[in-house]
Structure 1
């Protein structure tokens, strides 16, 4: 299965036409009956990091035909026990993921550890001959990226980064619309991911049996500074920069991935960010409000925002602003509002004679005929909607496992993942330094 197979005619099934407003249903073959998978063609999958995202990912991954979970590694005994409850008592469980990598019956691993373990787990897995699905952000430190890219090249292993929007039919449609000139020349992208809950702000539940007996604290810490056991650090690790990349690595990276996929850009050249701890002053050392501004050499600016105390419901979305209109992605929809650029002589025309005004207006109509650059309508509103129950996470895993079988290029390789995460982490760097930072998106290096 492949994202391209899910996209059929771009504008199928017109559902509504009213005063220039049109609604379209995006078609997908996702829910079609899957082709049978031979018994010897099953992919044996292992999970490394069975926390919130790891369990969610695995539940989606095993829905793909021909995929079987056979092993799980995690530093908390309770999650190893939970894995057996979810996927069967016969699966192999361990605190040490290297025991998984030593097994010959495992084809691929899903890495959903804290950020500071992504690089080492991925490198170890590829060196052990395993293909890798690595959750975002791909990196925790800038030095992680080149090593992961080089290891994939050297071992000829597949690594796909887990930003599922790269496989979404919604984002694919947005990419098509932008390329068609639907909103004219792009000049700005505005994106946000706001939340207003304790859990949304990473205050995850700590189990009552959390202790050095049930948690492998030394293994969890890895390269992080060594401190005595702290259950909050273990189970709410996103709140500390020793293990996570903060809102930039958790949420900005999704917005960068979507923006880069739709625009085809390699990334920004300059970044500046501000923010701070505005509400969740609970000992964490990463901000709960962050705003970032980024320059792109393609001729547009990107504005990002995360607010963990937004006073309302969780809100995510991107708005692409062009010279002829706007395109917005919200939930399972992408919509275009076309408002052709107004080319008027200017308000000073009223100071001229009637005869001169007439001549100027005729001249302007000849120079600037009111037509849309793509040949479409000059104005109007269009909305494209994904089918009910559509899952881009399923598509992303389906694409990954298809690549494991075919050895064809993945939809989000380590280079794409590094460019997205590298751009996101510019925000942290800008805040730490209190200055604008520069980035070479081609060489993927700080300038």
Structure 2
């Protein structure tokens, strides 16, 4: 029975007796990279990976994985043919060969026994589902955020990784960022006094986009597999607009708060010193577009969540960043990496901020988080953005969304 590896490659021509003898007589040349020479990692010590979901974000993260010397990316998978081809080109160019296998069906990737781990970066609706399927196949997973569309999906992810003893990391790279760690340390050391409120601002984003989908002929699945793209979402007729604006519909995306909340809420939990303790009350209001169209998420919102100890967690669409307010001052980290504090004495005697990564391109700092994942794959330890921690921050996301969709306060028990 052919394996996925053989399905991905043309069948080999049978060797003639003369050809076999000639090849047997030829000297065996083993590249130094295979033996771990010249700074390379030996083939036996590499982590073999595949990338599933290769849109813009997926290819961005793929590039950062390729920078890790102990990673060997052997396959790419996407429901868009042009994305498959583009990702293969990136991988092949990096390794200087044409070995990267290409798949439309993720099942063919997951059945390969030589693949240790996957990067999954498809649409929101696929993150938890693909993580569970990969875990069942014995693969470790680096998963882009948001990790789930519902609270129940997050629980299923935790259960799958526990049962199958697989390593999993949420792609919330700020969790491993030195400047974010600096800010969290300031809060945890009591420099701003007792923490009273944290304001998480997510920016305006593309959340006002809309349009009315019109049914169009579905493309050839080999070019774009629309059925597979929909995943768990209720079936709807194909429409280019539906595919382009998937983020503004609850069936295919998790909404505005999930987009950055996955990052920021984990930073709030981190600063509080308890990754699993959650707010118990949510109250707020959102504004929804009134004209008919595909957009059914709030484009403007203000939510206030309260923890059991009284600390407030505020969510709004102001410019991106997190501000921690304490009894004796505040510290504010903007998403570009700039840090502001008042009074200035809060930062006295601390490491020089100028020695931390510069603000420009700050959110692009991926290597520490990817390294944390790869090290856990090797040690079979726990990642910083492990399933329990990531799910907890996503419970805040979903509870806030439920509050906005119902238009009334909700409680979390």
TM-score (norm 1): 0.74
In the TM superposition, residue 79 of structure 1 has moved relative to its aligned partner by: 0.6
Of the two structures, which has the highest relative contact order with CA contacts closer than 8 Å and spacing of 6 or more? 1
Q: Which moved more, 1:130-139 or 1:284-293?
A: 284-293
Distance 1:339 1:80, change over 3 A: closer
Q: Tell me the residue number matched to 1:431.
A: 404
Indicate yes or no: 2:409 matched with 1:409.
no
Choose from 302, 314, 328 the match for 2:313: 302
Alignment correspondent of 1:9 = none
Relative to structure 1, the CA distance from residue 65 to residue 273 in structure 2 (aligned partners, 3 Å threshold; closer, same or farther) is farther
Query: Which residue of structure 1 lines up, in the alignment, with residue 56 of structure 2?
Result: 52
Name the CA distance, whole Å, in 1 between partners of 2:70 and 2:91: 15
Q: Which residue of 2 aligns with 1:81?
A: 85
Contact 1:139 1:145 in 2 (8 A): yes
Query: Which of 267, 273, 294 lines up with 1:283 in the alignment?
Result: 294
Matched, 1:394 2:367: yes
The residue that corresponds to 2:72 in the other structure is: 68
For 1:295-352, what per-residue CA distance to the aligned partner results, in whole angstroms no more than 9, with x for missing partners? 0124310111126xxxxxxx31111111111111122233432389xxxxxxxxxxxx
Q: Secondary structure at the match of 2:317?
A: strand
Task: Count how many residue pairs are aligned between Structure 1 and Structure 2.
Answer: 357
- Structure 1 residue 280 displacement after superposition: 9.5
2:229 corresponds to 1:212: no
How far apart are the structure 1 equivalents of 2:332 and 2:339? 6
For 1:147, what is the secondary structure of its paired residue?
helix
Structure-1 residue corresponding to 2:179: 170
Secondary structure in 2 matching 1:283: coil
Q: CA separation in 2, counterparts of 1:195 and 1:248?
A: 11
In the other structure, the counterpart of 1:443 is none
Higher-helix-fraction structure: 2
Q: CA RMSD in A?
A: 2.7
Q: Deviations over 1:104-147 (max 9, x none)?
A: 12111111121212222111101111001111112111111221
Question: CA 1:223 to 1:135, structure 2 compared with 1: closer, same or farther past 3 Å?
Answer: same
Partner of residue 321, structure 1: 325
| Partner SS state of residue 297, structure 1 | coil
Aligned counterparts of 1:339 and 1:74: Cα–Cα separation in 2: 49
> Which one of 104, 108, 112 corresponds to residue 113 of structure 2?
104
Q: Quick one: distance in 2 between partners of 1:381 and 1:68?
A: 40
CA shift for structure 1 position 239: 1.6
Q: How far off is 1:100 after superposition?
A: 0.2
Corresponding position of 2:282 = 271
Matched, 1:242 2:251: yes
Structure 1 residues 228, 410: CA separation in 2 closer, same or farther (over 3 Å shift)? Answer: same
CA deviations 1:199-229 (Å, max 9, x no partner) are x8678xxxxxx95122111111222111111
Q: Deviations over 1:43-68 (max 9, x none)?
A: 11111111121111111121122112
**3-state SS, counterpart of residue 49 of structure 2:** strand
* In 1, Cα distance between equivalents of 2:114 and 2:351: 49
Aligned to 2:5: none
SS in 1 for 2:366: helix
* Pair 381,190 (structure 1): closer, same or farther in 2 beyond 3 Å: farther
Partners of 2:218 and 2:85 lie apart in 1 by: 16
Q: Which ranges in structure 2 are unaligned for 5 or more consecutive residues?
A: 1-37, 93-97, 211-216
How many angstroms does 1:381 deviate by?
A: 11
CA contact (8 A) 1:336 1:382 kept: no
In structure 2, do the counterparts of structure 1 residues 409 and 202 end up closer, same or farther at CA, with 3 Å as the change threshold?
A: farther
Aligned to 1:336: 341
Q: For residues 35 and 185 of structure 1, do their structure 2 counterparts lie closer, same or farther at Cα, with a shift above 3 Å needed?
A: farther
1:384 aligns with 2:353: yes
Q: Partners in 1 of 2:406 and 2:298 — Cα distance? A: 15
In the alignment, what sits opposite 2:32? Answer: none
Is residue 208–residue 289 contact of structure 2 (8 Å, CA) maintained in 1? no
> Which of the residues 292, 304, 319 maps onto 1:293?
304
Matched-pair contact (CA < 8 Å) for 1:337–1:382: no
Q: CA deviation at 1:282?
A: 5.5
Shift of 1:281: 7.4
Aligned pair partner of 2:158 in 149, 152, 166: 149
Distance of aligned partners of 1:383 and 1:241 in 2 relative to their CA distance in 1, 3 Å threshold: farther
> How do 1:358-373 and structure 2 match up within 5 A?
none
TM-score for the superposition, normalised by structure 2: 0.80
